[in-house]
Structure 1
Amino acid sequence: MPPHLDLSQSTHAKMIVSPPRLNLRRAASYHTEKAPLSSTSSRFNFNHLISSPPPSPGLPALVPRPRQSPTSPRPSRVLRIVAWVVGLALTLSILRTVAKKHGRGVPVVGWALETQEEYEMVGQYDLPDFPTPIAVTDRQGRSKWTVSIPPTYEFPLTVKEYADMCAQCQEVASHVRELHGRSNPPESRTNYYYEDPYFLDVSEAEKRGLLPGVEGKAWKVTAQAQDGHLVGERKDGLVDKGFCKTSLTFVLETSDAGLGPTLMMLWMAYGLAQKEKRSFFIDDSRWAYGEYTTIFKAPPMPECNPPPRHEMLPCPRQARHLIVSAGTARATFGDSFNAEYENLYRSDVYRERPVYDLARAGYEALFRLNDQDQSYVDSRVKEIREKAKVPQGGYNDGMVVGIHVRHGDLHPFEYQYNGAYIPLDVYTQKAREVIEDYHNYSTPLGGEDVAAKAHSFMIVASDDPDVYDDEELSNAVRAQEQIKLASKQHIPDPSPDKTIMHKFVDEAFGWEGGFFATMFWNLGRSTLNNANAAQEDLQTSLKPSAETMRLRGLIGRAYMLDLAVLGQASDTVICTMSAMGCRLLAVIMGWDKAMKGENWVNIDGGYQWTSL
């Protein structure tokens, strides 16, 4: 077994770094038998496999050369050992002096977190040049841990980097507790607001000299080009306000092409920030749908400056300046979050009421469409409500039933439809039942309200343009007609005459069948360029063009228009829980209308509303 590195006897600060990107050497095997050396080693060759021929009589005999006595006396073994020890001590003393002079008296240690290979820990005196949690020991021998992000590192980090760091924080925190002779407390997993006594925030670590901090104007100039893009941030308007004491920044970047999960997390993150009294910011630097203000108005900005980017951490939860993104969703909205915010004493939909309230707070503050789209939604909702009104003298107005149909690469939860989609007649049949139940016995005398039933109708929104042409929905009204996604059959052929030679053009692109992730990532790209491109390349290395971003923005706007009109104009909404748009509609409708009044109807199994 390789010897352990003793960290307890050193008199200067120490740190442990994860993951093992630097200074990792493969340790010796744990087996007792020795492995053979390489074939090029002087201690191992293949001579024993070849029979040596007898010595040639014409050649001199192979006899050892006589040993000559040295002309000068050799130093004794004791003197040589003493010289080695003195030289080594002088070398270590010089290195230690130089390290203290440069403020780098902190050895860095790394080890493997995700592999089964054994590594030998090797120390050095440089902070890592990549983001990572580190364990440090101050001059009093007290072990703590913090997160080191180089101030000039690109912000925001990638989705994978944020996800990896959340796992690494747990590993380093466990290691520090072991150094203190303690095991992981049970409440650290179940208590959402558990505070690790051994964690140091970045600003506190800088004050104690465990992190170098940020000094001088050179860093500020460098960081201005790498500070991401916080929506609505003013570069020169809040200079005298100072940094926010605590904050939560939501990073919109995600590897998921769908807009629904990101929107739900955004609303919940805002509600969580308000609950924890944190200032809230949104970063749209690498959002697949372009700039946030293409679809929505900028969120309300707090009366303080956002903190330095290297102080925004994805973990732990007690960090003063927290980052939330798709990469940290499990850490932010995982089991401990559910244990904290779900009403565990209820088994019905009221179990999710506290989580719903967080999402509702985010909807009310952030779901503000741009001026053009909001004006259209207001007029469209008014038009639909006017159509449902019964002339003077009627008892009730007609009922508007909203239908949300999600196709594409998303399939229902219900087993019998899991390989395909729920048939449209299931939607329409449920809509007719709702209308019948609502208007039967609705007159003062208990009879059927015929006039109101005649003014009842369905409005439909779908990611599949072919749904609008289906016979089952022939009498339904489109939720919105501002932005329509056309199927291939509705796109005119640019060259109908096949007898004439034409210049090559890409095949017509139609939004047929619904929303597919692959179709989204290829949007606006030439088929010639995409032939051999890997899926991850389409998301990262191949930077989307301005036309691609314009098309993506239109898709996002169409999706938001559908949800806004359905949620605000419908008396009842029928949808499938497997679609995130269905869950968003419940938030838009409000708790009393959707849940208490049971006007949010899920037809995809017997599931109750849940957020993520």
Structure 2
Amino acid sequence: MIIASRRNLHDMSMRRAPATLSSGSLRVPLLDSPLPSPSLPAALPRQGKKPLPRWLIRLRRLALWIGCLVGIFFCIQSSPWFSRLNPVTPVRTTGSYEIVESDTLPEVAGPILVDDERGRTRWTISLPENLDYPLSPTEYSKICKDAETMALHLADGKEHSGYYHVDKNYIDIDEAKRRDIIPSKLNGRTPRNVADNVVGGEKYLKMRDTMPVCKKSLTFVMQTEDAGLGATLMGLWMSYGLAKKEGRSFFIDDKNWSYGRYTNYFKQPPLPDCQPPPVSHRTPFPHHARHLLVSSATTQWTFGTKFHEQFESSRKTGADRQKKMFKFLRAGYEALFHIDSDDAKYIEQRMAEIRSSIPKGGGPLISIHVRRGDRHPFEFQYEKSYIPLDIYVDAANELVTSFYNQRSIFSYNINGSSSKKASEAQYRATSSMILASDDPETYSSPEMKGIVKAQSNLVSSGDGPLDGSRDFPEEPSGKSAKIVAKKPQKDPKIDWDGGFFNSIFWSLGDTSLIPSAEGSPSASQGTSSVFPPHRVVRESEYERLRFNPSPEALRLRELVAKTYLTDLSLLAEGDGVVCAVSSTTCRLLAVMLGWNKAISHGAWKNVDGKIDWMAIV
């Protein structure tokens, strides 16, 4: 039911009120006049108060904001985490990074925070001049870690990418000492003991007061905690190539090298026409430092991920991606790998003897390198053991077949007929193979029967003549053999049972070793009189054994180095190489063969999985 009003709503809304009404007769509020609103300004000003001008209100607000900002700033500055003096030194405690205030420079090497002339906080590397250089690999590694953390702290946690990124908060050591931020007694001059820290330093010592110091340099420190010589050569060659790419003068620091002096094995490297910087100016971090230092302990910063991102060709695949880095290594090999003249004569003589067994126009000479010891393959099924020797031999035969096919195509293109080409059986019969390994048992294995040992000039115990090898005199000519020839008849040979191990190398010539833990396995064959059986090296003994070897230990290390370098040189003279890419020596052999021969023409063959050559330093 709809209820409707009889009144005319339209007439009611339009009806006017009576003309004369008194205030007393008004019982309801007038609908036509609105109620007063508190948001509207009053008709009359309040008694005793005047409205403030707008400009004064804005000024008060601005002063309030400024006061708040100043208060926040002083709160931050008064915080202990941000309080700094000039200079301060960082220390690392229980895995956390802590900043310790100090009015003086720290006595240890490391990054420090300093304030420049404008009061801005910067950082640099403090390398006290009274320290014994080069520092240990552990110390250089710690400098890089601490400096990287400090740089990230000053950058407000923003990690900058790029191999050639320049940190604007960093003050170079030269500049810091020139500004007297870091005190220096040398005033940029080369110290008088430069001959102890740089190969060929005698040249600079004579011209110390007349020859200027290099503007930019890269110094490679040979001292390492890795006993292997291959890793040192890889880092040395790569550092040389990088220095030439960046326009830096290149120097070699061979002080405290575990193998002795650089010139005991190689000819003197090319020397720049400027003096090397003082040792207290050479820093491993950051990369854009004026005088950069590179060692085996700092390769993850110099030749790490950012290095590969900078020089890899992303549009290419396989080994072609790393061709630029291959060129760096090749430049270092060509400039630095010059064996001492007496050793070079023996290598040349030995290679002539090996080549003489191959008839003219015969098959190729294939070099086989087998690494065992503490180096295990990349391939999953062999990562806990070693690659079987028959895989090496099969790969060498495949390489001979590859050479034959390439020769057949070439002969067919020239003669227009394949009638003159030699048969594959004849070609294979006239080819030859040479072998070098760190494990003496490899030479006498049945799989290697008929393969010639690369050299018998420098030997280790367990070496026996292989079938098909030539007899060599007991005291061959050349400096390489002098170490063996000068040894007394009762002096033992070096026993590498199972291959090359770091711990065995560090214990050479040491007579104060500690028995190993109970249950350790015995030697596979016989005993060694160089070091007692069942002996290992404690961690506390490493410092003494590595960097302060006895004369006897150093003599044995030189023998090991000369044996390795002779094998390496002879293997590189082959027409093709078969090896495992997990071994540094294998990757070095590819560089020694050259890009065209090793990679483009396939003369370098890897047996450790389907992995291409890679520039791992």
Q: Same fold by TM-score, threshold 0.5 exceeded? A: yes
AA partner of residue 396 (structure 2): A
Matches within 5 A, 1:542-553: 542=545, 543-553=548-558
AA partner of residue 336 (structure 2): L
In the other structure, the counterpart of 2:206 is: 237
Determine if the alignment matches structure 1 residue 590 to structure 2 residue 594. yes
Determine if the alignment matches structure 1 residue 453 to structure 2 residue 453. no
When residues 419 and 7 of structure 1 are mapped into structure 2, their CA distance, relative to the original with a 3 A threshold, is: same
In the other structure, the counterpart of 2:442 is: 467
Mapped partners of 2:149, 2:214: distance in 1: 29
In the other structure, the counterpart of 1:115 is: 94
When residues 8 and 399 of structure 1 are mapped into structure 2, their CA distance, relative to the original with a 3 A threshold, is: same
Shift of 1:298: 1.8
In the other structure, the counterpart of 1:561 is: 566
Shift of 1:598: 0.5
Determine if the alignment matches structure 1 residue 478 to structure 2 residue 449. no
Shift of 1:199: 1.2
Determine if the alignment matches structure 1 residue 124 to structure 2 residue 128. no
Contact 2:141 2:298 in 1 (8 A): yes
Shift of 1:387: 2.4
Shift of 1:593: 0.3
Mapped partners of 2:195, 2:139: distance in 1: 17
Contact 1:522 1:538 in 2 (8 A): no
When residues 529 and 146 of structure 1 are mapped into structure 2, their CA distance, relative to the original with a 3 A threshold, is: same
AA partner of residue 542 (structure 2): Q
When residues 437 and 206 of structure 1 are mapped into structure 2, their CA distance, relative to the original with a 3 A threshold, is: closer
Determine if the alignment matches structure 1 residue 141 to structure 2 residue 110. no
Mapped partners of 2:74, 2:603: distance in 1: 64
Mapped partners of 1:608, 1:228: distance in 2: 40
In the other structure, the counterpart of 1:50 is: none
In the other structure, the counterpart of 1:526 is: 511
When residues 400 and 111 of structure 1 are mapped into structure 2, their CA distance, relative to the original with a 3 A threshold, is: closer
When residues 116 and 400 of structure 1 are mapped into structure 2, their CA distance, relative to the original with a 3 A threshold, is: closer
Matches within 5 A, 1:388-403: 388-390=358-360, 396-403=361-368
Secondary structure of 2:101's counterpart equals coil
Q: Computing the radius of gyration over CA atoms, which structure comes out larger, 1 or 2? A: 2
AA partner of residue 207 (structure 1): R
In the other structure, the counterpart of 1:207 is: 178
In the other structure, the counterpart of 1:314 is: 284
When residues 122 and 461 of structure 1 are mapped into structure 2, their CA distance, relative to the original with a 3 A threshold, is: closer
Matches within 5 A, 1:356-367: 356-367=326-337
Mapped partners of 1:214, 1:525: distance in 2: 41
Shift of 1:8: 5.7
In the other structure, the counterpart of 1:611 is: 615
Contact 1:133 1:168 in 2 (8 A): yes
Determine if the alignment matches structure 1 residue 343 to structure 2 residue 318. no
Q: 1:239-295: per-residue Cα shift (whole Å, max 9, x none)?
A: 211111111000011111111111101100000011111111111111111111122
When residues 267 and 5 of structure 1 are mapped into structure 2, their CA distance, relative to the original with a 3 A threshold, is: farther
When residues 530 and 273 of structure 1 are mapped into structure 2, their CA distance, relative to the original with a 3 A threshold, is: farther
Q: 1:553-604: per-residue Cα shift (whole Å, max 9, x none)?
A: 1111111111111112x11111001111100000000000000000100011
Contact 1:8 1:141 in 2 (8 A): no
Secondary structure of 1:541's counterpart equals helix
Secondary structure of 1:469's counterpart equals coil
Contact 1:577 1:607 in 2 (8 A): yes
Shift of 1:237: 2.6
Mapped partners of 2:93, 2:198: distance in 1: 33
Mapped partners of 1:256, 1:118: distance in 2: 28
Shift of 1:482: 2.0
Instruction: Using structure 1 for the length normalisation, give the TM-score.
Output: 0.74
Contact 1:403 1:460 in 2 (8 A): yes
Mapped partners of 1:323, 1:406: distance in 2: 30
In the other structure, the counterpart of 1:515 is: 500
Contact 1:15 1:107 in 2 (8 A): no
Matches within 5 A, 1:159-308: 159-178=137-156, 183-184=157-158, 188-189=160-161, 191-214=162-185, 224=192, 228-234=196-202, 235-239=204-208, 240-308=210-278
When residues 372 and 488 of structure 1 are mapped into structure 2, their CA distance, relative to the original with a 3 A threshold, is: closer
Mapped partners of 1:205, 1:322: distance in 2: 16
Q: Which deviates more from structure 2 when the two are superposed, residues 263-272 or residues 107-116?
A: 107-116
Gaps of 5+ in 1: 17-105, 391-395, 491-504
When residues 437 and 363 of structure 1 are mapped into structure 2, their CA distance, relative to the original with a 3 A threshold, is: closer
Instruction: Using structure 2 for the length normalisation, give the TM-score.
Output: 0.73
Contact 1:464 1:511 in 2 (8 A): yes
AA partner of residue 249 (structure 1): T
Matches within 5 A, 1:414-453: 414-439=379-404, 442=408, 444-445=418-419, 448-453=423-428
Q: 1:150-202: per-residue Cα shift (whole Å, max 9, x none)?
A: 11111111101111111111122123233xxxx525xx33x111111121111
Q: Which deviates more from structure 2 when the two are superposed, residues 348-357 or residues 422-431?
A: 422-431
Matches within 5 A, 1:329-340: 329-340=299-310
When residues 164 and 6 of structure 1 are mapped into structure 2, their CA distance, relative to the original with a 3 A threshold, is: farther
Contact 1:521 1:538 in 2 (8 A): no
Mapped partners of 2:366, 2:133: distance in 1: 45
Instruction: Work out the percentage of aligned pairs sharing the same amino acid.
Output: 38
Q: 1:60-87: per-residue Cα shift (whole Å, max 9, x none)?
A: xxxxxxxxxxxxxxxxxxxxxxxxxxxx
When residues 348 and 216 of structure 1 are mapped into structure 2, their CA distance, relative to the original with a 3 A threshold, is: closer
Mapped partners of 2:264, 2:112: distance in 1: 39
Aligned residues: 487
AA partner of residue 176 (structure 2): A
Mapped partners of 2:97, 2:401: distance in 1: 69
Contact 1:154 1:226 in 2 (8 A): no
